Amino acid sequence: MNIMLFHSTYGLTAAVRDAADRLRAAGHEVWTPDLFEGRTFGTVEDGMEFKEAVGKEELLKRAVLAAAPYSDRGLVYAGFSLGASVAQTLALGDAKARGLLLLHGTSDIAPTAHVDELPVQLHVAEPDPFETDDWLGAWYLQMGRAGADVEVYRYAGAGHLYTDPELPDYDAEAAEATWRVALGFLDSL
């Protein structure tokens, strides 16, 4: 698979590069665009402040420009938290998208969004302060109405970015379970 993997509000960190290497070791081609142009952050708050200063539209523009040269190949869009929301937006707008892998995040869905049975897999903590149960229930229904084929995996007691070994949220057991399921998902596409 050809995978476009987007980083979280921490930026393009070693953990994101390591995730890309894990995917490459499984036989996938992976690109990791740096939407923050070299900036990384030690806290969610600092990353969110930078994201707000840059603006959502500019970040989406950067993401589209990064993906455009490869979209004819049929990309799987993937991302961590903020990067998951970016990946979701791009996948729902790309008729050639092969799949969507969301790690720790989702995004709003335009009422006009439509895909043709796009395979979607979401991995998220339970509970997650950024992905509440009510939000996820509504998101799931909206994705279904948009035509996506959605699987949701919840990880009880894990922190928000539980796959990142550099963060206090890290949960080794949940992270390994996530990668095992996600790699199976990618192999099925």
Give the DSSP letter string of 93-144.
Answer: T-TT--EEEEES------TT---SS-EEEEEEEES-TTS-HHHHHHHHHHHH
- Per-residue pLDDT tens digits for 147-162: 999 999 999 999 999 9
Give the pTM.
0.97
Domain extents in the chain: 2-188
Residue 5 belongs to what H/E stretch? strand 2-6
Q: 49 — phi, psi (to 5°)?
A: -60, -45
Say how far apart CA 115 and CA 107 lie, in whole Å: 16
How high is the pLDDT of residue 140? 97
- Per-residue pLDDT tens digits for 13-41: 999 999 999 999 999 999 999 999 999 99
Of the candidate CATH numbers 3.40.50.1820, 3.10.510.20, 3.40.50.150, 3.30.465.10, the domain formed by 2-188 belongs to: 3.40.50.1820
DSSP type of residue 11: B
Pairing of strands 29-31, 75-80: unpaired
124: β partners: 154
